[in-house]
Structure 1
């Protein structure tokens, strides 16, 4: 789960009231609890989201798939609040087959955010092997490999992601980035990335500048 899109205040309040009404009317239906936790998390009301998820978990702890869905929601509250050490145990407890790979993906993202790239890679590859045709899973493996400095392997996974989704500006940009470091042609990839996702391109332009400086410094050292 990436950053949830944030509803505006009026929309959120209306939805919150609606879901509270559903919980009051059907207190044994866990879906409304889950949806309300997701909504509060999207609105960055992390304290209320945490309290509600904890309360719901206490109520549905012995019921599957309710318990795992609520653990996943609580993990996501902590992930969005950037308290990754709190998120990880909830993802690890999930046994539900449908949710397991989503939980592994979030564990990989949490560990990556903590700069624990080696452990993040284990979980990311587990997801990628289970879902080889999922663009996000290939991108996540690639991002972690890039962070570890494994540029050739990272490039391979970015290429896979781009083959699955040729509209991914993120994949195109990073194919260009790895090509640049590996001394391969890269300009067309950056042009493509700029057209596909100008926002991503602009946000990561500093990376290009940094790598250009690093490569120039390496070239100078070789000449001296």
Structure 2
């Protein structure tokens, strides 16, 4: 079993190295194109190489920012993604706020919403996500993000509406099932919460196990309320 896992890890590492090599080659072969820099930065984010991704994009901005507004906007958006992935939400917000390109504005609003959510500023997060929602009312991920903001703000019923919209479009969203279960349990509807938790566990056991302490916390609060 361990040998199988080691072989899988080696293969994954080899694929990553090959991808990295190809992306670097693309930059060398297209020195006047900003897009290979963006593509490489996105891959470095996947590898959690945030410092390298930041340095790469700063270099690219130095090369291309004055040549093209499209390049400047794309690379600035990419830099925001680096900071967001690294958990540096204030820096991420500063970058996303500079994005003016119409083709990136929607994504920038969503990332601003997620960055403010990361800072626990749920009011601002909701404002940006609702703005983005006007252009993408059926987007299940966006509906879930809005649900997360509303849940964090304590507006359980509105959050539940957005989680249901998410699940109408994507029935296999483990997080939406879990959070809908949290809302049902918080409202004292244990029988309705349990199928949601079970569905979440079936879809993504790692997600469920990571978040299940929340169930115990809610049950503790409910028991305390019953005693009072």
Q: Does 1:161 align with 2:166?
A: yes
TM-score, normalisation: structure 2: 0.88
State which drifts further: 62-71 or 88-97: 62-71
Correspondence for 2:61 among 35, 43, 57:
57
Correspondence for 1:212 among 203, 213, 219:
219
Q: SS of the counterpart of 2:61? A: helix
Shift in alpha-carbon separation, 1:18–1:195, aligned structure 2, 3 A? closer
TM-score, normalisation: structure 1: 0.89
Q: Where do 1:1-224 residues align within 5 Å?
A: 8-62=12-66, 63-184=68-189, 185-221=192-228
1:4 equivalent in structure 2 = none
Q: SS of the counterpart of 2:69? A: coil
Distance 2:136 2:211 in 1: 27
Shift in alpha-carbon separation, 1:201–1:32, aligned structure 2, 3 A? same
> How many matched pairs?
215
Structure 1: where are the runs of 5+ without partners?
A: 1-6
Asked if 2 retains the 8 angstrom alpha-carbon contact of 1:155 and 1:175, the reply is yes
Deviation of the 1:9 alpha carbon: 4.1
Instruction: Indicate the RMSD between aligned Cα atoms, in angstroms.
Output: 1.7
Asked if 2 retains the 8 angstrom alpha-carbon contact of 1:152 and 1:182, the reply is no
Shift in alpha-carbon separation, 1:133–1:81, aligned structure 2, 3 A? same
Distance 1:74 1:167 in 2: 31
Deviation of the 1:38 alpha carbon: 1.2
2:6 equivalent in structure 1 = none
Deviation of the 1:114 alpha carbon: 1.0
